[in-house]
Structure 1
Amino acid sequence: MLRGKLWRHPDFLKLWAGESVSVFGSQVTVLAVPTVAILILHAGPFQVGILSALEFLAFPTLGLVAGVYADRLRRRPIMIICDVGRALALGSIPVAFLLNLLTLEQLYFVALLTGIFTVFFDVSYQSYLPALVDRPNLIEGNTKLEITRSTAQVAGPAVAGFLIQLIGGARAVAVDALSFFLSALALASIKKPEPEPRPSTASGTSGFIPEMREGIDVVFRNPILWRIAACTATTNLGSNMVFGAVFLVFAYRQLHLSAAVVGVVFALGSVGALAGAFLAGWVARTLGIGPTLGVTIIVGGLALLATPLALVGAPALVLATTGFIEGLTIPVYNISQVSLRQAITPDRVQGRMNATMRTIVWGTIPLGAFIGGILGTSIGLVQTIVLGGILSTLAASWIFLGPVIRLREQPAPVMA
């Protein structure tokens, strides 16, 4: 974190600064929007599940389309447009609240709209980094971005909880809207020109469908990529049965925690994510890339499975502890698998590869939230949490039953 060549890379520093501001603001929305739905608009587990599902619906429906455009167009302008769009969409929530016009239907629409902008931003963002920095610096770049993201996750939820307590959830969303505007300004100030996009397939064929198909083939014909996709998709399905639908309802209504306490719980849990981001490189070097991916999935899944222990006593401490362990594993897993994906994929198809991966791994997020909402309403909150934890733990089988577990070092970067 404190060393490396990218400290002397002014354009990377601008990308880093803009993303840091944005992810900090987004931590407010992560807590504020469902809190508004639950405490002001009286939403239940099913409605919260729908809200979360709509936010991620664009990934399975538009992810592949976003990938083609991320390889056809320059990626930085796409990111700027998406930041401005998300700022305007989220800004409508405090405005509607002040006018006494806020409804659950508006939250649904904003979640859907911000999700569309997010899918185009994220696919372009992950594909833009290899064009901005040299490939040998990808792990450093991803580590720095993940550390600041984890830092925001530490401070953000606590600030969000107290902001919600102080000014209300709807007004707190304005902080995130402002952060997206600041991110757009930081991106606009980057001076390094992007390479001219050259949309085509390896055979030289151009066209929307052939280019989209090539992105799918890049993932499914690579035994490392598709197994990573399957593992991440499975753990996302299980974890979002919990966090996408029932966790906050469990915290507010069954454990009777306040928004401020929930914010502190999230913040304390996120200290683990910050520690994990610092430790990611060391863990990967010590265990090897493949074992790192498998072990982190198992440990994170078991921590999620332990969440109902909060009913026994000291609920804030239990949730903070399990959250710390889960948070510790997430950046270690993500830094390793994202850097691996970026290194073994040619720049020409980075956008389509990332879009295909995102379509798969984030496509299960709305499904998990929807299933979690139904299960939370029909069989109970605790039972849903247990099922989600079991599913997340079993996701590691994709890593252990294949060639990924045998990877010890980061493969040599593919430059073509």
Structure 2
Amino acid sequence: MAKFSRLGLLHDRDFGRLFAATALGQLGDRIIFLALPLVAVVALHADEFQVGLLAAMTSAGSLLVGLPAGAWVDRMRKRSVMICTDLARALFLLAVPLAWWAGLLSIWWLYAVALVHGVLTVFFDVAYVSYLPYLVGRGNLVEGNSKLSATRSVTSISGPTVAGPLVGLVGAPATLLVSSAGMAMSGLLAITIKKREKKPESSEHPRLVREIKEGLKFVVKYPTLRAIILGDAIFNLFLVMYQTMLLVFLEREIGLQSFGIGLIFSGMGCGALLGALLATRVSKRVGHGPVIWLAALVTCPLTALMPLARAGWSVYVAAIGLAALSLGGVVRVVAQSSFQQALTPDRLLGRMSATARFVSWGGIPLGGLLGGASGSVFGAAGTLWIGAAGMTLSVLPNLLSPLRTMRTMPTEKAPEFAR
């Protein structure tokens, strides 16, 4: 019994397979996060605006297919969507090293791969979030999200640690082969999950626009869902501005090589892992609602340490601030994801997730463009200051909502409005 209490959901074979598939897929994704911009910066000598545009292309899928993705996924088996998108992402990532070896790689090639990969990721993430309540049950959502966040955090540590030396050894383009392999193995492992949903019932004449509106109305109706999504949108906008210039700042102004950059991102992964391990305990102690805004309020201001850093020990002190940001971010995401999943009826999970992603992530391409433009005008350090201030202000929607005092997780689904 003690062993079971320690393992919790990992004792379930299907959840264990999802856990392992998540680890492999996230390892590939974390390597992409570091390697793809380094292909642009180091191999193609891209300027600040081109790096920002690449970041925008990576996340443009949320704007292009964010809302219809939810309606489409709600018509399909979520497990099947996850498998297909993982395998397709693995295939498209191969285009970068192949183009590099053929002498065809250009910044436009990177834009195209980033865009396609981002669109596929939208479908994967919507299906992933929607599949978890079916797999583990609504009563286990906080534990399930915490454990999956833990494995994502571990890969946030190991991904940059692997990517940094690999980039130095074989070059950034070839490093993406490891990303492709991780995505492919994730998809193949997901095939072995035995618990399969029934195919959702569809109306005789499905109407995409009507289904999208239904998801939007559900999210807009509830103040807690509105606050979570708006706070996320503000946070993500300024986070991407910050991240867009962080690599440029570390590589060009601090003078770090790929290994040193990888160490800093691994430190962020350590913070995220600690946050995943503490998320359930902190949420119970502080309250599931208050922890959403309090985690950001405590950790976001610490990101201002980075633009103050100079070559030497101070940059690693500043990296502690980034690790704290990751810790607070995971605690917040676990709490708010569980809130969203607990409130949403099964048939609307895909649309809720897609609507949340569309609004929360819709500003990410703009953040990449603004980060690049701001870097051109104010420099990388100035953009980091702007990003730190904006992330701190993102607490306001949650602080001013009912989440401020909601200490317990919802135990019942929110009632649906009349269709």
- Letter of the 1:7 counterpart: L
* Matches of 1:312 and 1:114, distance apart in 2: 35
Name 1:346's counterpart in structure 2: 345
Name 1:45's counterpart in structure 2: 48
Residues 39-188 of structure 1: pairs in structure 2 closer than 5 A: 39-188=42-191
Name 2:211's counterpart in structure 1: 211
1:329, distance to aligned residue in structure 2 (A)? 0.7
* 8 Å CA contact retained: 1:136, 1:413: no
1:327, distance to aligned residue in structure 2 (A)? 1.3
| 1:85-112 deviation digits (Å, cap 9, x = unpaired) | 1111111111111222211111110000
Q: Tell me the secondary structure at the aligned position of residue 94 of structure 2.
A: helix
Name 1:285's counterpart in structure 2: 284
Q: Tell me the secondary structure at the aligned position of residue 410 of structure 1.
A: coil
* Matches of 1:296 and 1:211, distance apart in 2: 34
Name 1:221's counterpart in structure 2: 221
Q: Tell me the secondary structure at the aligned position of residue 289 of structure 1.
A: coil
* Matches of 1:274 and 1:355, distance apart in 2: 26
| 1:112-134 deviation digits (Å, cap 9, x = unpaired) | 00001000110011001111121
* Matches of 2:123 and 2:347, distance apart in 1: 17
Residues 241-280 of structure 1: pairs in structure 2 closer than 5 A: 241-243=241-243, 245-280=244-279
Name 1:390's counterpart in structure 2: 389
* 8 Å CA contact retained: 1:235, 1:297: no
**Bigger Cα displacement from structure 2, 364-373 vs 109-118:** 364-373
* 8 Å CA contact retained: 2:306, 2:319: no
1:144, distance to aligned residue in structure 2 (A)? 0.9
**Bigger Cα displacement from structure 2, 351-360 vs 323-332:** 323-332
* 8 Å CA contact retained: 1:71, 1:199: no
* Matches of 2:336 and 2:406, distance apart in 1: 11
- Letter of the 1:322 counterpart: G
* 8 Å CA contact retained: 1:131, 1:195: no
* 8 Å CA contact retained: 2:306, 2:315: no
* Matches of 1:336 and 1:114, distance apart in 2: 28
* 8 Å CA contact retained: 1:153, 1:270: yes
* Matches of 1:7 and 1:319, distance apart in 2: 35
Inter-CA distance 102–205: structure 2 relative to 1 (3 Å threshold): closer
- Letter of the 1:87 counterpart: A
Q: Tell me the secondary structure at the aligned position of residue 410 of structure 2.
A: coil
* 8 Å CA contact retained: 2:254, 2:311: no
- Letter of the 1:214 counterpart: E
**Bigger Cα displacement from structure 2, 289-298 vs 246-255:** 289-298
* 8 Å CA contact retained: 1:289, 1:407: yes
* 8 Å CA contact retained: 2:35, 2:172: yes
* Matches of 1:100 and 1:345, distance apart in 2: 49
Q: Percent of aligned pairs with the same residue? A: 38
* 8 Å CA contact retained: 1:139, 1:335: yes
- Letter of the 1:219 counterpart: V
**Bigger Cα displacement from structure 2, 93-102 vs 110-119:** 93-102
1:207, distance to aligned residue in structure 2 (A)? 2.1
- Letter of the 2:374 counterpart: L
Name 2:313's counterpart in structure 1: 314
Which 5+ residue runs of structure 1 have no aligned equivalent? Answer: none
* Matches of 2:143 and 2:7, distance apart in 1: 7
* 8 Å CA contact retained: 1:28, 1:157: yes
* 8 Å CA contact retained: 1:229, 1:357: yes
- Does residue 1:9 correspond to 2:9, yes or no? no
* Matches of 1:133 and 1:114, distance apart in 2: 28
* Matches of 2:202 and 2:284, distance apart in 1: 36
1:320, distance to aligned residue in structure 2 (A)? 2.1
Q: Tell me the secondary structure at the aligned position of residue 191 of structure 1.
A: coil
- The alignment of Structure 1 onto Structure 2 pairs a total of residues equal to 412
* 8 Å CA contact retained: 1:270, 1:323: no
* Matches of 2:53 and 2:61, distance apart in 1: 13
- Does residue 1:303 correspond to 2:302, yes or no? yes
* Matches of 1:55 and 1:221, distance apart in 2: 30
* 8 Å CA contact retained: 1:64, 1:212: yes
* Matches of 1:377 and 1:193, distance apart in 2: 50
* Matches of 2:284 and 2:40, distance apart in 1: 44
Inter-CA distance 328–5: structure 2 relative to 1 (3 Å threshold): closer
Inter-CA distance 312–260: structure 2 relative to 1 (3 Å threshold): closer
Name 1:230's counterpart in structure 2: 230
| 1:4-29 deviation digits (Å, cap 9, x = unpaired) | 54223211111111111110122111
- Letter of the 2:349 counterpart: Q
| 1:161-202 deviation digits (Å, cap 9, x = unpaired) | 0111111111110001011110111111111120331346xx
Q: Tell me the secondary structure at the aligned position of residue 197 of structure 1.
A: coil
1:303, distance to aligned residue in structure 2 (A)? 1.7
* Matches of 1:149 and 1:261, distance apart in 2: 21
* Matches of 1:4 and 1:139, distance apart in 2: 14
* 8 Å CA contact retained: 1:154, 1:268: yes
